[in-house]
A = this chain, B = another copy of it.
């Protein structure tokens, strides 16, 4: 394929600059947010006003386009690391509540739940595996600081937290209220509180 491009074209189409990458991601995300799931590199090139050769070189398949878009999107949720489990948990809950209620997430959640595009659904779920691992690591940091009980599995804690934040916009078409987020955070803090084993205060 590289042999087909003249030097001039190669310069014009450029490398995968950060600007181009973000434009491609944004275009795919806009389509997903509109509920449009049926597109390929050509449509993205036309819609984003980017050289087709550039798109075909770096994102030759639908899968490549979707992965780029999802990485861009989930990168918008910064995983907090404040050194305090209650602060980290509250921040993550607030950020995820906004994230899952965003048009892109509402649309991709509906794609998964609607079961009409099983391959796209599988791609989205696969994308979230490493993302969820980052969230779980936040719980693991709480355990290592002694703020989260060692009996708590990071996976179970994150599942419990995230499920409600995903399901509320999906079923009620609205983000969780501040009160609902706070109630959920309070319950998760109670659930993860370390059991008192050593009562050092009593010995003094």
Contacts and interface: CB of A to CB of B under 8 A. Distances in A.
Contacts of A164: 159-160, 163-164
A203 to B, nearest CB: 15
Contacts of A91: none
A160 B173 contact: no
A153 interface: yes
Interface stretch (A39-47, A58-66, A107-115): A107-115
Interface residues of A, number: 35
A134 to B, nearest CB: 18
Contacts of A155: 183
A156 interface: yes
A40 B184 CA distance: 41
A171 interface: yes
Given A110-B114, A113-B109, A114-B114, A184 B170 contact: no
